[in-house]
Amino acid sequence: MPLRDPASTGGQARAIPALLDDAVRLHGDRPAIHFLGRRYSYRELGALVDRAAAGFAEQGVTRGVRVGLCLPNMPAFVICYFAVLKAGGTVVNFNPLYAPRELQHQVEDSGISLMVTTDLAAIYPKVLAQLGRGALTRLVICPMAEMLPPLKGLLFPLLKRRDLARIPADERHIQFRHLTRRAGTLTPPAIDPETDLATLQYTGGTTGLSKGAMLTHANIVANAEQIFDRLPDPRMGEERVLAVLPLFHVFGMTVAMNLGVRIAAEIILVPRFDVEGTIEVIERQRPTLFPGVPTIYTAINHALEKRSADLTSLRCCISGGAPLPGEVRRRFEALSGCHLCEGYGLSESSPVVCCNPFDGGARDGSIGRPLIGTRVEIRDLNDPGRICGPHEKGELCVRGPQVMQGYWNRPEETSASFIDGALRTGDVGYADEDGFYFIVDRIKDMILCSGYNVYPRVIEEALYQHPAVAEAVVIGVPDDYRGSAPKAFVVLKQPLDAPEAALHEFLKDYISPIEMPRQIQICESLPKTPVGKLSKKELQEGERKLRENPASGHEGAP
């Protein structure tokens, strides 16, 4: 694959830690991570990764052993990610915002025996509750204070005492400082990049049941190289990547972290998105690359309607996870002077498949052209064996070196997700005469909410846990900020005081904040198909009519 790759090894597939080894060797004195005022050089990062890899090996991590990471954006994520891979293990990314039931399913399904987390009270208790489930027996604890500059690190436990959990001193808990206490003397095991799994990236697919996309070292490195190939004149060792996207998300993992290391960039880690804080970071730290989702750029646009800010350091911005409105793109480009390019991908493709050009040739509504080495096929919805021509709508199917090996322990679903060797995306679209692709509809019921996959079935099942709920249906509705948001329609068995508030409170223990319905509408009955199934189609049509004519008072449900 003829990628623009000065550090390539003749096109031979490489393991992910080789990206870091190259950065340490060629740019060791350059800054690698900036986190709330603390900087790590590439040489320091490489040494910490080597020490952590040796520590993981002492804990039994070797080729094929799966290790969970349940962390916000902090240096420990980058260190432990590369260290687990260098020890031969497989990283299983966990969303720290998951509800306990979601964590439990992923812990048991992945078979992890070791989980890395932090001492924040919002995260640690949920992870602690998983000890003893499946094969999970030990936790590695990365205290937030140890990641901060010295003075902030001393003050953090005093000023943020309520935000910290108490960590027991027992054999089930391993402190990060103990994991990295010895010099890195590990002899890394031989890794086959083409077959050894680097990550299990969990995604709901078409059913809402979370399953692990098996991504090899070669898949992920290929995608980093493909994106590198698209960058306009990348300046090795000089770029700064703003990592607002969570690294546990496949978009942040590849485009912010792995690509950042590939170009020896300084990765500016932001623990959570806050629009004013993000604007301040841009002005103060002067990032040059900024991957994000449309809601982030929308929030920045809205904030800068009230005040000015200097965003001129930005050179490249890529938007993914949800459709990017043309008005949002144009407004952000006017504010920053930087091209904002929409891309497209999915967890099963590491994730990027297509991207618009960075030279100003982006087309509104288009996801761009396929990355180098990638082939996108539009297959007829009624005759999947037929490849459609320009402007014919069909299912997008993908071939390329970034495409997953399949779903973990799910051979039937793996088989169903491919056709003639091409990955079925579940998205309907078309290509124009110039090779630009457009998404026009979704086969899946999945709701894209701020770039995250939200599955109606998960919310519906949680609602059914409430004793007063008789029927529940969840659909996606347009949302000015998040792109789409879930809306629930509920029939009650018995009256509830303030039912919408009561059900929202009940759901907090079952679903994550991103899955929380924007609205819960209480209905006398719900529409049904002739065979008695609840009809989402009629609800969606009712919502459409309400948006078109708000004065009519038409509701989504009868």
Q: Is 274 within a domain?
A: no
What is the DSSP track for 113-173?
SEEEEE-BTTTHHHHHTTTTSTT--EEEEE-GGGGS-HHHHHHHHHHTGGGBPPPP-STTE
39: CATH: 3.40.50.12780
**CB contact at 8 A, 423 and 345:** no
**Cα–Cα distance for residue pair 211/102, rounded to 1 Å:** 11
Split into its structural domains, the chain has a count of 3
427 and 520 part of one domain: no
Q: Is 160 within a domain?
A: yes
127 and 220 part of one domain: yes
pLDDT at 4: 38
Give the burial class of 380: count Cβ atoms within 10 A of its Cβ; 0-12 exposed, 13-18 middle, 19 or more buried.
middle
**CB contact at 8 A, 213 and 202:** yes
- Picking from 243, 262, 281, the residue at the C-terminal end of a domain is 262
**Cα–Cα distance for residue pair 405/195, rounded to 1 Å:** 9
pLDDT at 556: 53
Token pair for 103:
């964590």
**Cα–Cα distance for residue pair 278/288, rounded to 1 Å:** 14
Token pair for 470:
């008789």
3-class SS shares of the chain: helix, strand, coil, % to 5? 30, 25, 40
370: CATH: 2.30.38.10
What is the DSSP track for 375-417?
EEEEE-SS-TTSBP-TT--EEEEEESTTS---BTT-HHHHHHT
**Cα–Cα distance for residue pair 316/287, rounded to 1 Å:** 10
Residue 348, by phi and psi: left (phi above 0), alpha (psi -120 to 50) or beta?
alpha
Residues whose CB is less than 8 angstroms from the CB of residue 496 and which lie 6 or more positions away in sequence, other chains included = 468, 502, 503
- Cα dist from 419 to 63, 259, 399, whole Å: 31, 30, 10
428 and 548 part of one domain: no
39 and 140 part of one domain: yes
Domain that residue 404 falls in: 343-442
**CB contact at 8 A, 522 and 499:** yes
Specify the DSSP class assigned to residue 551. G
pLDDT at 555: 54
**Cα–Cα distance for residue pair 409/166, rounded to 1 Å:** 36
Q: Is 286 within a domain?
A: no
Q: Is 355 within a domain?
A: yes
426 and 470 part of one domain: no
506 and 528 part of one domain: yes
pLDDT at 294: 86
Q: Is 382 within a domain?
A: yes
pLDDT at 5: 38
- Picking from 241, 262, 283, the residue at the C-terminal end of a domain is 262
- 428 strand-pairing partners: 395, 441
Nearest-Å Rg of the Cα atoms of the chain is 23
Let me know how long the chain is. 558
**Cα–Cα distance for residue pair 30/16, rounded to 1 Å:** 20
pLDDT at 240: 98
- 142 strand-pairing partners: 118
**Cα–Cα distance for residue pair 40/448, rounded to 1 Å:** 35
| One-letter-per-residue 3-state SS of 410-438 | CHHHHHHCEECCEEEEEEEEEECCCCCEE
483-492/469-479 β-pairing: antiparallel
**Cα–Cα distance for residue pair 377/395, rounded to 1 Å:** 8
- Picking from 389, 408, 442, the residue at the C-terminal end of a domain is 442
420 and 454 part of one domain: no
355 and 430 part of one domain: yes
- Cα dist from 440 to 346, 347, 430, 528, whole Å: 16, 20, 8, 27
Q: Is 7 within a domain?
A: no
- What is the pTM for the complete model shown? 0.83
**Cα–Cα distance for residue pair 14/225, rounded to 1 Å:** 11
- Cα dist from 164 to 116, 159, 206, whole Å: 16, 10, 37
Return the closest-CA partner of residue 243 out of 203, 201, 288, 180.
288
Q: Is 332 within a domain?
A: no
389 and 464 part of one domain: no
453: CATH: 3.30.300.30
For the chain, 558 residues long, give each residue's pLDDT as a single digit of tens. Answer: 334 333 333 468 999 999 999 999 999 999 999 999 999 999 999 999 999 999 999 999 999 999 999 999 999 999 999 999 999 999 999 999 888 988 999 999 999 999 999 999 999 999 999 999 999 999 999 999 999 999 999 999 988 999 999 999 999 999 999 999 977 678 889 999 999 999 999 986 434 568 999 999 999 999 999 999 999 899 999 999 999 999 999 999 999 999 999 999 999 999 999 999 999 999 999 999 999 998 899 889 989 988 999 999 999 999 998 778 888 898 999 999 999 999 999 999 999 999 999 887 888 889 999 999 999 999 998 899 999 999 999 999 999 999 999 999 999 999 999 999 999 999 888 999 999 999 876 666 778 888 887 878 789 889 988 999 988 889 999 988 888 999 999 999 899 999 999 999 999 999 999 999 999 999 998 887 544 467 788 898 888 888 887 765 545 555
Q: Is 321 within a domain?
A: no
Place of tokens 């040796």: 54
List the helix and strand counts (H, then E) for the chain.
Answer: 17, 26
372 and 518 part of one domain: no
481 and 354 part of one domain: no
**Cα–Cα distance for residue pair 200/66, rounded to 1 Å:** 9
240 and 383 part of one domain: no
